[in-house]
Amino acid sequence: MEIVTRTSELHAWVAAAARSGQRIGLVPTMGNLHAGHHSLIDIARARSDVVVASVFVNPTQFGPNEDFTRYPRTPDADMAGLSAHGCDLLFMPAVDVLYPNGSDHAVRVSVPALDNILEGAIRPGHFDGVATVVAKLFNLVRPDLAVFGQKDYQQLLVIRRLAQDMGYPIEIVGAPIVRESNGLAMSSRNQYLTADERKAAGTIHATLQWIGQQLATKSMSIAAVEREASLRLEAAGFVPDYTVVRRAEDLRVAEPGTTSALVALTAARVGSTRLIDNLLLDL
């Protein structure tokens, strides 16, 4: 695996791959990688000739109450994991490489309607930062496909809308959530859980499954299911930010009797850790 830190080096590498007719897959990450991230590399590896991964802690997606400097950085472990899973090129730029005029003065990309609800309402400006850095990476790498995890479901929709509206000829691949044995979605944040919190965190996935069961049997309305699901999380020691059922295609409120595909989403805190999860509902 080759490692580059400058855009000129990245340009030269991907240009050579493109000239030789190779299909380029991209996996953007913020590092501190785990098995969930490695599954994205595996998917890109299976569907591309060469795989480019980025490790970049993006300052523009951190809110005023989120500490950019404390985000865990594990470059040696990240490099070893990416190499083991067949990554061909790792792009590890410094902040001033992607934001030459400073991140506070950078041109921003926004995705209206999706950027200010749910996660966007709780973390204002977060999805502007995500869309901005992903647009930069798309422009630099010009991949044929890019793989993103479904655990960040709203982010996945933001990126799909970004690619569609900006005319990027890139296939956006949503990768299935990788879970621990108790159903907890793998996340870099899981390392902050105590043993008891990690055990209790299986309640999140179980609650999402319960939502699907209730809606499949039509025993409760969507609003009633959302309320009861939040109570279930609270009873397990969580403080939910939201527990909702939305239209899977655009996260709009699902009207009673809707025939659209649905997704259940939740964000909840246990101790000092905030966890997110979702489940596409097959009704």
Catalytic residues, which ones?
37
What is the rounded distance in angstroms from the CA atom of residue 20 to the CA atom of residue 55? 25
Print burial letters for 93-126: b (CB count within 10 Å at least 16), e (below 16): beeebbbeeebeebeebebeebbbbbbbeebebb
Q: Closest Cα to residue 271, out of 155, 177, 193, 185?
A: 193
130 three-state secondary structure? helix
Cβ–Cβ contacts within 10 Å for residue 243, how many?
26
Cβ–Cβ contacts within 10 Å for residue 165, how many?
11
DSSP state letters, 195-217? HHHHHHTHHHHHHHHHHHHHHHH
Residue 36: its H or E element: helix 35-47
Q: Closest Cα to residue 209, out of 186, 184, 234?
A: 184
Q: Beta partners for 146?
A: 26, 172
